[in-house]
Amino acid sequence: MTGFGVATAEADGASYSVEVRSLNSRYFKALIRLPEELQGLEAELESTLTRRLTRGSVVLTVRYSDASADAAVRINADALRSYLDQLRSVIGITKDANPGDLGSLLTLPGVLVPGTAEELLQRVRPVLDRLVEQACDRVMAMRVREGAMLHEDLRRHCGQITNRLAAVSQRAPQVVEQYQRRLRERINGLLAESGAALRDEDLIREVAVYAERSDIAEEVTRLQGHLCQFAEIIDAEAEDPAGRTLEFIGQEMLREANTIASKCLDVEISRQIVEIKGAIDRIKEQVQNVE
């Protein structure tokens, strides 16, 4: 399901911005964009996304700038003092004399020492953790609104299937009766010239074979059961992810519909099954967006 969330903060002179985008996807996939100095937090942030968003193509973007004193590199006083002593000895000036451009000395190796990466990560970790959680909260809020609309759409498709399945159940007994009538008329027509008569037991035996071969009561019952289970899941208040379960139920619903179509070749039932399969296909497409 789609969603978008942004969270920002100012802490100790540093600016933070966290943006989370979620797009529809059958599986979970995370793309994390971090400043170079914060790359060490990638695994932790991905773990947070996996815990909060179990499905979707998710992009996390972090922006960070630090204008505080913590961002400044440290001066290695011992190294600078050593350079100054060597310079004075070379040019022959006293210890108290001005050695010249001090700015140039700062460019010498070892004079400026940046803070360690671990110190930086320790400082920004709690702030980023909080902002990622806030951004995920806003993503989930958007998903909830989208989910409400998706719920109505899925309920509508289930209602269409239920109505057409009821028409199939009502039509099924008539199919056997019509077959028996057509078969009797056809055989009587063939036997009329010879003067022979159709025995009822022979007709009953043939109709019984056809009725057993075209019996769809079991498939109709299973499809009704799948519909009930599907409705229970989408109506439940549980927060556990259900997208994969709904996808599996949709596959089973389509399986039963295909079996009904292959067993009963009645034109009216075939027309109803075509509409049922169309609704199931739309359900299968939609549940791929369900968390």
pLDDT in tens, 214-250: 677 788 899 999 999 999 988 887 666 778 888 899 9
Same domain, 282 and 165: yes
What's the pLDDT tens digit per position in 243-290?
A: 888 889 999 999 999 988 887 777 888 899 999 999 999 999 888 877
Same domain, 172 and 252: yes
The rounded percent of the chain whose pLDDT value lies above 90 is 31
Whole domain around residue 105: which residue ranges? 74-113
Same domain, 270 and 166: yes
Q: 27-51 as b/e, with b when 16 or more CB fall inside 10 Å?
A: eeebebebeebbeebeeebeebbee
Same domain, 31 and 135: yes
Same domain, 40 and 88: no
75: pLDDT strictly greater than 70: no
Higher pLDDT, 185 or 6: 6
pTM of the model: 0.60
Domains of the chain: total: 3
Same domain, 134 and 103: no
Closest to 67 measured CA to CA, from 132, 7, 16: 16
Q: In what order do the strands lie in the sheet with 56-66?
A: 3-11, 14-23, 56-66, 28-33
Same domain, 245 and 219: yes
Same domain, 92 and 32: no
- Phi–psi pair at 78, nearest 5 degrees: -65, -40
In this prediction, residue 208 has a pLDDT band, given cuts at 50, 70 and 90, of: low
pLDDT at position 61 is 94
Same domain, 166 and 253: yes
Same domain, 123 and 13: yes
Given 144, 159, 185, the domain boundary residue is 144
Same domain, 242 and 260: yes
